[in-house]
Every structure is written in structure tokens, then in C-alpha cells.
Amino acid sequence: MLIDLRSDTFTKPSAEMLEAMMQAPVGDDVFGEDPTVNRLETITAEMFGMEAALFCPSGTMANQIAIKCHTQPGNEIICEKNSHVYIYEGGGIAFNSGCQVKPIEGIRGLITAEQVQQLINPEDIHKAPTALVSLENTSNRGGGACYEFDEILKIKNTCVENSLKLHLDGARLWNALVAKNETPAQFGEVFDTISVCLSKGLGAPVGSVLIGKNDFINKARRVRKIFGGGMRQAGYLAAAGIYAYEFNYGKLAQDHQHAKEIAEALLKKDFIGKMLPVETNILIFEVHGHYSPVSFAEKLKKLNILVIPISPTQVRMVLHLDITQQMVREVVEVIGHL
């Protein structure tokens, strides 16, 4: 039994999800004629209380389209220094949008309104005009950390006062909603745009959705085409997302519980150092003493458990839909014997 804790992107569609995909009515989505894509977009927009949505092939593309549509070349974007849009999207902010980033050192990937306020450039010909603030919730490199909603509201006020747009990389927003008992509509009210992933905790094989106002999504649809993301009978993929909303969203709390059980087992070990608080489905912890992160990952691999050493001192484990209770028990037992 292989237990793959490298990422929640490794989930494979269940037989029921595949069946839903096979049964999906489809059409040419570039012509706006795929009924299943249209349904996914409508359901998602309505869930967030926003006007419109756009199905995208990946979270990266959804974020990059949002950034492109919110900015002009030469603008500056404020985000946390470890945010996905900045460090894991191939330099896309510069490549696609011709913008530069003012990275902020946050706490577990989360930034504050006060920090944003301090980094907004004044009106000055020497400075790049600040155009956009991009938040990530949950924060991947922050170990699945969630924002306090009050702080998000404060950041929104700062954005409004300074005419900045506010984007949310919500690849794992679902996990935050479950952990903090929040609703999509709360987020839809605050953000100009939100990208959500179907292919992480929700277990769909492909796809993300970008949500915003009608005008914005019309523009985003055009940029998606330019970026090569206009898909044809994409309803087969969208159907997986619709299935996931109905059947997999309710299972996220289980992943969070599994993460806590594994954390408890790890913290009993003297070779485990500082662990980031476990709020959702991600564990990030230091490994020292007789293991390094690499040798720890290699040892686990020999025992059929896959994890990722994400820095010279840290290892990451991610819980997801394909990790059963029995697998968690196995991981806890293996850790106990290390």
C-alpha cells in the first residue's frame, strides 16, 4: 500500500466521479456551448454571490489571468514573499503581465493590513504604481494557515482607500472555509477576484475557477484564450468539479483530523523540531538529529510513505481524499517505530 502524502494534487478521480464525467453533456466551450462548463461556472459564481466565473485549466492560469486583467505593465503587486503567485508560477507575473512584486515577510504566509499600508508606493515618478494586493488562503508554504476574516476586511479597507484591487489565490480556500466555519459568500463580498482549485482538496483531476464581476470575467475569457486556455469539450472536466462540490467538499474536515493525528505522532519524536500549527490538511515541520529532511523522506519512502523535503530543514506532508483512515493509522504506526 503506497501512501502518497506529497500533495493533495495527487488524488485520482473515484469511479463515481469518472462516471459523472462520462455522463456529462458537452459542447464547444470556446463557443460558450458546453452546458456542463456553463453549469460549473454558474454554480461557482452563485456559491460566492459573485456575478460570473471562468473555468480554467489550472490554478496557475486562473491566478495569472487575474493578475493580467487587474494590472498594466510596470505596475507593482503586493503579496507575501512565499506566495504561490510569486515563487511557484514560473515568473509569470513578469512574463505575462510585465509587473514587479513587492514581497512582504508574513507570518505563516499571512500578511496584515498594516504591512500592506506601509508598502503602497506614493504617487512619485520614480516608483512603480501599486495596483494589486494578492492574498493566499490557505497559505501553502505557511502550512495550510488560514487568515482571520477580520484581517481580510482590514486589508480590503486599505485597498479601497488606495484604489487597489484585491485578488485571492484560493487554491485551498475550501479547507479554510471548513476550518474557520466561513462561507464562500463572505469571501465573494470582499474580493474583486477569487481563484479556487477543483484539483486539490476536492479531488478533481483538473481545473480551477476564476470568479469576479461580469466585465472582469469577459476580459478574463479573452485573456484565457490568448494564454491558450480555451478548451473545447471541457465539460468532461467541469463535471468532475460539479461532482466534487456535491460529494467531496464535506470530506475535507476528515483530512484536517487526519493531519492532526499524524502531527501528534510526529511530535512525540525527538528528531522532529518546530512544527507549524496544523490548521488544515498540511503539515510542515523541522527534522533534525539523526535524520535530515532528505534522509527522513528516503526512510519513509522505503516504508511506502511519500513526503517532500521542502527546505534544507523542513518536511511537508499533505492529507487528502485518497488517504484513508487505515493509511493514517499505518503512518502513525510507522512514525512510532522510527
- Point out which residues bind ligand PLP (CB under 6 A): 9, 58-60, 63, 84, 136, 140, 169, 171, 197, 199, 208
In angstroms, give the least distance from the CB of 56 to ligand PLP: 9
Determine the Cα angle at 138 with ends 51 and 79, to 5°.
80
* Closer CB to ligand PLP, 169 or 255, in the complex: 169
In angstroms, give the least distance from the CB of 109 to ligand PLP: 9
In angstroms, give the least distance from the CB of 140 to ligand PLP: 4
* Closer CB to ligand PLP, 24 or 79, in the complex: 79
* Closer CB to ligand PLP, 29 or 169, in the complex: 169
In angstroms, give the least distance from the CB of 139 to ligand PLP: 7
Determine the Cα angle at 307 with ends 254 and 171, to 5°.
55
| Residues in Cβ contact with 197 at an 8 Å cutoff, skipping those fewer than 6 apart | 59, 62, 170, 171, 172, 207, 208
Pairing verdict, β 52-56 and 208-212: antiparallel
* Closer CB to ligand PLP, 59 or 203, in the complex: 59
* Closer CB to ligand PLP, 84 or 156, in the complex: 84
Whether the CB-CB separation of 60 and 92 falls below 8 Å is answered with: yes
In angstroms, give the least distance from the CB of 217 to ligand PLP: 19
Reference 206, options 58, 34, 69, 8; nearest CA is 58
In angstroms, give the least distance from the CB of 289 to ligand PLP: 30
Determine the Cα angle at 201 with ends 247 and 66, to 5°.
110
* Closer CB to ligand PLP, 9 or 121, in the complex: 9
Reference 229, options 74, 71, 63, 85; nearest CA is 63
Residue nearest to ligand PLP (CB): 59
Q: What sign for the dihedral angle of Cα 327, 331, 336, 337?
A: positive
* Closer CB to ligand PLP, 138 or 335, in the complex: 138
In angstroms, give the least distance from the CB of 88 to ligand PLP: 7
